[in-house]
Every structure is written in C-alpha cells, then in structure tokens.
C-alpha cells in the first residue's frame, strides 16, 4: 500500500510539472502578442527559449523582433532581452557595435567577436564600449552623436549599425529578486511586452535609417583616435 501511495504521489507530481510546463510555454508564446497590433501583416513564429519571434511592417519598413532569455549563472538575476532589428541594406562598409557595460557573456550579441576595440570619443557615455569589424570603415562621429540619447534609457544595452541593418537591444525584464534568491525561480515574460515599450525603439530605428541614408560624404573625424 505504501509503495502504491508513493507511486500515485510521483505520478501526481509529474502531471503537475507537465501542466505547469505547458502553462509556462503558453505564456511565453504569447509574450509579443500585444505588440503585434503595432504592425501591418504581423507574423509570429516560435523561437528559442519558448519565446516567439515577431516580424511585420511598421512605418513602411519590415522589422524583426526577438526575445532572448539570459539565465547565465554569472548574472545576479536572469533576464529577458528584446532585440529590435530593422533589416535593410545600409550604406555602411562595416559593422559598428555600441554596448553599455559589456561583460563578455551577452548571449544576444556578437559584440565580443568583432575584432577591433575602438576608443570611446569624448562626450560619449563613459560606460559605453565600441567594437567594429573594420576600423577603416568607421562612420563619422556626427552620424552617431544624435542617437547617443538612446542610452539615457538605462534599459537600452546595445546599438548596432551594419551594412545589413540596424538594431537596438533593451532589457525587458529581470526575474523577481526575492523569488530567485530563495526559490531559484527564474521565470520571466509572464506579462506580455507592452506596445508602448516597443514603439519608441521602432521610431528610433526609422529615424536612424533616415539619418544614415542622408549623411553626405565628409572629412571623417575618426572614432579611433
């Protein structure tokens, strides 16, 4: 009888865990649903970590949106990052990646595989690091300075400009500190991302695209000095 009772208890726990896992998957899959209303012809499909990927047209341009879960053990708290990408050809010869407070372990970025570290120019945020894959193709400072105020938002982590498009990465959410420290509960993304958190980044990328496209050739004040 004891063995039967234990067996029944184990089955009940397994069923409960299975039910909780399905509920978690459903919640994560809906994380970007509210933001879909910002786009025309939105398309949501599965992506890594159970979170979805959203693409659609906004302001006449096609955007790609991903949520990336970061549960690396060195972090104080697990985090959910959102990558807002405007994939379009840009008149740039190389990639330049600007990141606040890089740690070397950002799972959402190629920052640390770019070969060249660039000195941060005067007037740029002190905690900003810059890397590129082509030091000879750096854009003029005048192209970047109008967008430095993006980093006034402490949740904005990264800005990427490349020949293939533009990207802003921001911190959407961190796990609850108390629940994580006591129960190791790393759950994030329970509440869908609000559209009003996403829209300013869409508008910023559209403005940046227009700014890059209208920049005329000029003598370069190099970022690498």
Report domain extents, the chain. Answer: 31-214
Q: What pLDDT, on the 0 to 100 scale, is given for residue 186?
A: 56
User: What is the distance between the alpha carbons of residues 162 and 134, in angstroms, rounded to a whole number?
Assistant: 11
**Kind plus residue range of the DSSP H or E element containing 29:** helix 2-29
The model's pTM is 0.80
b/e 208-217 (16+ beta carbons within 10 angstroms → b): bbeebeeeee
Under 8 Å between Cβ of 172 and 82: yes
Which tens digit of pLDDT belongs to each residue from 195-212? 999 999 999 999 999 999
User: What is the distance between the alpha carbons of residues 188 and 75, in angstroms, rounded to a whole number?
Assistant: 14
Which tens digit of pLDDT belongs to each residue from 74-127? 556 678 999 999 999 999 999 999 999 998 888 899 999 999 999 999 999 999
Given a cut of 70, whether residue 71 has pLDDT beyond it is: yes
Q: Which of 195, 185, 196, 194 is nearest to 24 (CA)?
A: 185
Local structure of 41: helix, strand or coil: strand
Read off the pLDDT of each residue in 19-38 and give the average, rounded to a whole number.
72
Which tens digit of pLDDT belongs to each residue from 115-158? 999 999 999 999 999 999 998 888 888 889 999 999 999 999 99
Q: What pLDDT, on the 0 to 100 scale, is given for residue 209?
A: 95
Q: How far is CA 173 from CA 46, 68, 70, 75, in A?
A: 20, 11, 10, 13
């Amino acid at each position: 009888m004891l063995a039967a009772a234990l067996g029944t208890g184990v089955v009940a726990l397994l069923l409960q865990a299975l039910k909780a896992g399905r509920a978690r998957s459903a919640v994560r899959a809906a994380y970007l649903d509210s933001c879909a209303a910002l786009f025309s012809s939105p398309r949501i499909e599965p992506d890594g970590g159970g979170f979805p990927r959203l693409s659609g047209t906004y302001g006449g341009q096609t955007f790609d949106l991903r949520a990336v879960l970061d549960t690396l053990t060195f972090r104080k708290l697990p985090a959910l990052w959102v990558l807002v990408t405007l994939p379009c050809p840009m008149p740039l010869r190389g990639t330049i990646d600007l990141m606040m407070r890089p740690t070397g372990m950002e799972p959402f970025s190629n920052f640390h595989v770019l070969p060249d570290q660039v000195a941060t120019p005067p007037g740029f945020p002190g905690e900003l690091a810059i890397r590129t894959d082509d030091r000879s193709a750096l854009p003029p400072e005048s192209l970047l300075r109008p967008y430095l105020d993006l980093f006034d938002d402490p949740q904005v982590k990264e800005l990427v400009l490349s020949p293939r498009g533009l990207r802003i990465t921001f911190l959407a959410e961190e796990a609850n500190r108390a629940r994580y420290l006591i129960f190791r509960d790393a759950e994030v993304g329970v509440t869908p991302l609000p559209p009003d958190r996403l829209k300013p980044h869409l508008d910023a990328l559209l403005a940046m695209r227009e700014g890059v496209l209208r920049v005329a050739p000029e003598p370069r004040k190099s970022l690498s000095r």
